[in-house]
Structure 1
Amino acid sequence: MWLQVSLLCLSCLSLPSQSQAQDRAVLRRSNDHGGRCHYTFTVASPEESSCSGSSMKPEMDGVLSRLTLLEALVSRLIAGVDGGAGSAGSGVRANGEEGFPEDYSQVTREKNQLQQDKERLNGQVQELQRRLAELSQEAESLRQKPCQQTHTSGGTQYENRPASDPAYDLGKGCEALQSVGDPVLHRKADSITGKYGVWLQDPEPQGLLYTNETVWRIDTVGKDVRQLFAYEDMDQLSQGFPMKVMVLPEPMESTGATMFRGSLYYQRKRSRTLIRYDLTSESLASRVELPHAGFHGQHPYSWGGYTDIDLAADEQGLWAIYSTSKAKGAIVISQLDPESLVVKRSWETNIRKNTVANAFMMCGRLYTVASYTAPNTTINYVFDTATGMGGAVAVPFKNKYRYNSMVDYNHAQRKLYAWDNFHMVTYDVRLGRASQGSI
């Protein structure tokens, strides 16, 4: 303090007069924030009317504005931190302690609801599977039952009905063949390997890969017949572009193959071995020898072609049409188990196999075709496995292309399928109740 006063006195001695000092000097005395006394002595410049850099006031104003804003922000921040029990803190609690648990609870409820829906759907699926199994068993039992044989009385012949009649559903309407329509052409083979062969549709397809619209074809001319052509439907067959070609595990012989319940059944080349080829897995499912059956030209149809064993399917299941040495060339009919190919029951007819051109099964009855070359021939014989009786009939049948090497019946389509000299054709059939005395 004494230093400041001394300096003040020395300054006073250097001034020219008191009046001039009043114009040019100012002495101030005041207390600071701490309560201490301060003397401030201000002298005006004799030469400069104003200080250089006097434009600092706008800059200082800007700084003050920014400081004011900063202070306001700091105050709000401090208020948010210190006011943990205040409104800001309440917001944190609402989100952290109340909002989050509420969202979590909602997600948990939705998860539980989805779990309940899943369990309910699983229960429905199991119930549908159970019902499907029951229906499959019922259908299988219906297939195993023989068709109802209807007899007439008093010599009255009942009115014939078309195959499209609803009474002709599977297991119903198994009546006698009355007539065969004209052949309808679907495709002509375009090479020598297609002179004769097998073509058909599965009347009872299994699985999801193939339907009863899928068409199957095998050209049986050649030394090693193994190719099985699959067409999506009749239109694709007519265009000639298969959707798939399978290679059979064993070579096939002749035109006696058939299609039934998702499998191709055929005779192995130069043997009496029967083969079931599963279409879904594309693998050999069963193979067995047909007891005592003739093969490779021992008991063929009249047109030859090593047609010793002819497989067929109808409303009552899977059949084999063949002959044995014991039967001396007469046609033997055996009903086969579709899975194992084991013979379930056999019948011996009184017509020789080499005297007929072809044969097929319909409603548990064997029908034979008299000629494979005559343009106008007949279905000349029928044998009923239900009664064990056979006899002559005369149902007109046309070989339009003069070399019919295959005739097979499809009970789902109610048509005959035939391969007539490169031509793949179908025939509509008409069934009806037989008159008195008919087989």
Structure 2
Amino acid sequence: MSRSNIFILMATIPLVFFQSVRGKDCVCDLKNSDPAFPEAKLTKVETTSAQCIETITSEKITELDRLLLGLQQRIKQLEETVVLLEKEDDKNLYAAVSFRIIELEFAEIQDLLNKLNKSTGDYHQLGAQTAVQLDDMKNTMVELEKFDSMQVIKKDRENKRVKRDLEQCKNELKATPQPPTVPPKRCGLGQIANVVGPRTYSLTVHSTSYTYGAWGRDANPAPGDENKYWLVVLTSSNVYGNYVKQFGTLSTLLLGIGATDTLISNSNPTTNTIQGPNMVMYANALYYNCYNTYSVCKFNMTTRAVSTVALPSDTGYNNKNPFGYFSTAYIYTDMDFATDESGVYVIYATTSNYGNVVISKIETSNPPVVGQTWKTTLYKLSASNTFMVCGVLYATRYVDKETEQIFYSYDTQTKEERYDLKINIKKMQTNFQSVNYDPRDNLLYVFSDAYILSYELNFQ
């Protein structure tokens, strides 16, 4: 609250006039019917605010980033030194010197770690103190606002909010968003320009009973099945599913009629149970995370046969490396499956890659086989979902209840990573539990808090 607003607030305190006549002079006594304005409390808030500004500076905030970057560079340099020394064949002539070099580099890394630990501890303490101060200032300002009997401050705040919203609306109308510069090396689609929709927005046949699941179309359907849609809802603890619904058309899916149920297992959970909401359909087979393992399950929709392939043994599963945002995790989303123009992929994280995303191509043989693999620097918990288009991995993140954003890409051909994509997706519900891309219609099929939605990808 500014000083000018405070003066307005103080000026609006109700006054009571008393008039009396003394001789020939008319005298008016002004008496304040309300308590005196506690200016000392306002001064205290201003002082505390100034102290917070002095304590929390941009230089201090970026110090932690500098330390982390320095630590990454030193570790990378140490790895390069060790690789170089391993390749040398000096008949142990320089062994002592080589080990001394490594020892010095370890000492520098340890020094950086010590500084990092100290900075982290200081920031935790500073954050706790600041939170208490902010809460105290907020309570004081709420108390002071009671003196605004004519609600001048409240109306001024509302006017500013309306002006801000109006300016934002004008900017959005004038803005021509620039498409990301991900090179269109394959598929002939060009660059992703924006995401339009939702085109479809509907509850499933289960209404709001179950909030986790997935849906879409077979990315490589058998002849005659081109128009079919599939739906899987996790009906046990929002974690497990044991059957697949198929609908002949989108209309029957939206109406919830004419479904064909295909049972994977008789109970939940058991060996072949679907675990987690991320799955895809490809060539009449459902690919998903097998129950309680770090394996990929392939379920043949016709024969009902299940075949599996194991991912690396340090792969996160059973809610160890899920998607998430802030302090929230999407439970049992350790493995995400994606289809694009070339086939099926699985997206997961491993301890050997420090919890960062790993992409593996799944060869759709019987049994399936793990094909080419790519390691990224994207920390899996920092993303809320992923999908593939033309061999490029895209990751989304939670912005707020109304917006999801495609912020990251990894090109499996060029190995180029980008963190600066800003392609917004309008949400109808708070969370995206699964996102699937269909290369046949260039749509994203989203399962969001019991609702099924589709969005159109526009390419430049």
TM-score > 0.5, shorter chain as reference = yes
Deviations 1:308-352 (A, max 9, x none): 011111012110100101011100011110123212111111110
Question: Are 2:275 and 1:248 equivalent residues in the alignment?
Answer: no
List gaps (5 residues or longer) in structure 2: 1-177, 266-271
Q: What's 2:429 paired with?
A: 401
Query: What do residues 243-299 of structure 1 show as CA deviations (whole Å, max 9, x unaligned)?
Result: 310111421111111011111111112211211111222322x21111232101111
Q: Structure 1 residues 172, 363: closer, same or farther in 2, change over 3 A? A: closer
Distance (Å, rounded) in 1 between the aligned partners of 2:191 and 2:321: 27
**Preserved CA contact (<8 Å) 1:372 1:404:** no
1:192 to partner: Cα distance: 4.5
* Paired-residue identity, %: 23
Match of residue 220 from structure 1: 234
- Aligned-pair CA distance for 1:304: 1.9
Q: Could you say which residue in structure 1 is the equivalent of 2:11? A: none
Give the Å deviation of 1:239.
Answer: 1.1
Task: Tell whether the 8 Å contact from 1:416 to 1:427 is kept in structure 2 after alignment.
Answer: yes
Distance 1:271 1:242, change over 3 A: farther
| Whole-angstrom CA distance in 2 between matches of 1:233 and 1:300 | 32
**1:273 — aligned with what?**
295
Q: Quote how far apart the aligned CAs of 1:396 are.
A: 1.3
Indicate whether 1:349 and 2:376 are aligned: yes
Matched, 1:410 2:438: yes
Q: What is the SS of the residue equivalent to 1:400?
A: coil
Q: 1:193 to 1:247 in 2, by over 3 A?
A: farther
Counterpart code for 1:178 = A
Cα shift readout 1:174-210 (whole Å, capped 9, x = no counterpart): 43322100212343034444312111111211255xx
Residue among 345, 359, 368 paired with 2:395? 368
Q: Secondary structure at the match of 2:381?
A: helix
Preserved contact between residue 260 and residue 313 of structure 1 (Cα < 8 Å):
yes
With normalisation by structure 1, the TM-score equals 0.57
> Which of 247, 256, 264 is the aligned partner of 1:231?
247
Tell me how far apart the structure 2 counterparts of residues 356 and 260 of structure 1 sit (CA, whole Å): 24
CA contact (8 A) 1:373 1:399 kept: no
The alignment's TM-score, normalised by the length of structure 2, stands at 0.54
Q: Quote the Cα distance in structure 2 between the aligned partners of 1:377 and 1:273.
A: 29
Change (3 A) 1:262 1:372: farther
- In structure 1, stretches of 5+ residues that fail to align are 1-158, 161-167, 433-439
Secondary structure of residue in 2 paired with 1:343 = strand
CA contact (8 A) 2:245 2:261 kept: yes
1:306 equivalent to 2:321? Answer no
Higher relative contact order (CA 8 A, sep 6+): 1
Residue 407 of structure 2, aligned match among 372, 380, 399: 380
Match of 1:306, SS? coil
- In structure 1, what residue type is equivalent to 2:279? A
- How far apart, CA to CA, are the structure 1 residues paired with 2:209 and 2:264? 17
The Cα RMSD (Å) is: 2.0
Distance 1:299 1:185, change over 3 A: same
Indicate whether 1:187 and 2:213 are aligned. Answer: no
Distance 1:181 1:172, change over 3 A: same
2:44 aligns with none
Distance change (3 Å), C-alpha of 1:408 and 1:202: same
Residues 217-244 of structure 1: CA distance to partner in whole angstroms, max 9, x if unpaired?
1111415510211111101011112431
**How many residue pairs end up in the alignment?**
262
Is the contact between residue 345 and residue 360 of structure 2 (CA under 8 Å) also seen in structure 1? Answer: yes
One-letter amino acid matched to 1:215: Y
1:14 alignment partner in structure 2: none
Distance of 1:283 and 1:269 partners within structure 2: 16
Q: How big is the shift at 1:372?
A: 7.3
Matched position secondary structure for 1:238: helix
- SS of the counterpart of 1:230? strand
Indicate whether 1:391 and 2:411 are aligned.
no
Aligned partners of 1:186 and 1:271: how far apart in 2?
A: 34
Code of the residue aligned with 1:320 in structure 2: it is V
Given the alignment of the two structures, is residue 287 of structure 1 paired with residue 308 of structure 2, yes or no?
A: yes
Match of 1:358 among 362, 367, 385: 385
Aligned residue number for residue 187 of structure 2: 172
Partners of 2:443 and 2:379 in 1: CA distance: 26
Look up the equivalent residue of 1:395 and give its one-letter code: I
CA contact (8 A) 1:203 1:413 kept: no
- TM-superposed CA distance for 1:213, in Å, is 1.0
1:283 partner amino acid: A
> In structure 1, the residue corresponding to 2:405 is in which secondary structure?
strand
Q: Distance in 1 between matches of 2:299 and 2:393?
A: 25
2:342 corresponds to 1:316: yes
Counterpart CA distance in 1 for 2:406 and 2:359 is 17
Please give the secondary structure, in 1, of the residue aligned with 2:254.
helix
- Residues 203, 261 of structure 1: 8 Å contact kept: yes
Q: Alignment partner of 1:236: what SS?
A: helix
Is the contact between residue 274 and residue 287 of structure 1 (CA under 8 Å) also seen in structure 2? yes
Superposed structure 1 runs of 4+ greater than 4 Å apart = none
Matched letter for residue 288 of structure 1? V
Amino acid at match of 1:323: A
Amino acid at match of 1:360: F
Q: Distance in 2 between matches of 1:409 and 1:330?
A: 22
Q: Tell me the secondary structure at the aligned position of residue 255 of structure 1.
A: coil
